[in-house]
Structure 1
Amino acid sequence: MAFASNSGGGPMADINVTPLVDVMLVLLIIFMVTVPPLSYPIQVDLPQPSTMPPPPGMPPPPIRIRIDAAGGVSWNGSPVDMRILQSQFDVEGARGDTPAGTIDATKQPAIEIETDRDAEYEMLAKVLSRAKNANLVKINFVDMAAQ
């Protein structure tokens, strides 16, 4: 196997430095243009923080949802249909909406769910999914035996 060797002792190829110099000059110009405005202070009027904390709002009363063994659902003691339950959950969930698109859980009522021992889990799952779809955050389970 024969390989060609460069035994002339000189460099194989010259590096073209013209593009390198062009890039460096462009970067130098960019820095020269952007640095002077950064060296001058800019006056910004920021609002002063208030020393008084916002008044605490009274949380809304909790909503008691009861699921009986026959599959019936009641809202604070009055029977409701699942479609009506969803619309009521939507109204209560909208209380916590903020302009920023987040949820303020302090403005939403707590949902207290109590179920009969013989109630089917499917009905509980439907109620929980409707509460989740309405962006309700505070959901509690109540033990009927403790009352």
Structure 2
Amino acid sequence: MALRLATPNGRDADVPMGEMNTTPLIDVMLVLLIMFILTIPIQTHSVGIDLPQTPVTPQQPMPDPVKNKVGVDADGVIRWNGAAVDRLTLRQYLAATQRMPVEPELQFQPDAAARYLAVDEVLADIKRSGVTKLGFVGNERYGNF
């Protein structure tokens, strides 16, 4: 569509529009944005763990001195108190700790280079076993980047 303008001598001249129509550009950008949002993989997988809400004060009795340590190496090897175990053995150890009269504290320390999937599987096994005394240890080394 052309814009009719009057020239200084009084005659009309066909002059093309000088502004770009940005409406189609905005429509295309919105469609691309929606397609980009739909193609992003959803990263909402999580394992919920109930952590203690109150800090341990000197007036409270100290926890049981028996502590078990579970770790995941960079190679995905699960370690129970330093010894390499498989997931089935880990589940058996966790079930045995649940049968004890006083549940020992479970300290979890994954390696920084461990794969997320391996750590997630171990956390899921811990959650399924019903452990209530769980602590994450070794994170203080990541306090300063």
If the length of structure 1 is used for normalisation, what is the TM-score? 0.49
Equivalent in the alignment of 2:77: 72
The answer to whether the Cα contact below 8 Å between 1:63 and 1:110 also exists between their aligned partners in 2 is: yes
TM-aligned CA distance change 1:57 to 1:118, over 3 Å: closer
Percent identity reads: 26
Q: Which runs of 4+ in 1 moved over 3 A?
A: none
Give, in whole Å, the separation in 1 of the partners of 2:124 and 2:118.
10
1:73-118 residue CA offsets vs partner (Å, 9 max, x unmatched)? 110011001100001111112225xxxxxxxxxx111111111111
Give, in whole Å, the separation in 1 of the partners of 2:84 and 2:111.
15
Question: 2:122 aligned with 1:127, yes or no?
Answer: yes
If the length of structure 2 is used for normalisation, what is the TM-score? 0.50
Give, in whole Å, the separation in 1 of the partners of 2:126 and 2:63.
22
The answer to whether the Cα contact below 8 Å between 1:111 and 1:138 also exists between their aligned partners in 2 is: yes
Gaps of 5+ in 1: 1-55, 97-106
Letter of the structure 2 residue corresponding to residue 142 of structure 1: V
Give, in whole Å, the separation in 1 of the partners of 2:62 and 2:113.
39
Question: 2:80 aligned with 1:85, yes or no?
Answer: no
Give, in whole Å, the separation in 2 of the partners of 1:60 and 1:133.
24
Which structure has the bigger radius of gyration? Answer: 1
SS of corresponding position for 2:94: helix
Letter of the structure 2 residue corresponding to residue 61 of structure 1: V
RMSD after superposition: 2.1
Structure 1 residue corresponding to 2:66, chosen from 61, 66, 70: 61
Give, in whole Å, the separation in 1 of the partners of 2:136 and 2:73.
14
Give, in whole Å, the separation in 2 of the partners of 1:71 and 1:141.
18
Q: How does 1:1-147 map to 2 (within 5 A)?
A: 59-95=64-100, 107-143=102-138, 146=141
Higher strand share: 2
Give, in whole Å, the separation in 1 of the partners of 2:118 and 2:86.
12
Give, in whole Å, the separation in 2 of the partners of 1:94 and 1:81.
20
Higher helix share: 1
Give, in whole Å, the separation in 2 of the partners of 1:93 and 1:121.
26
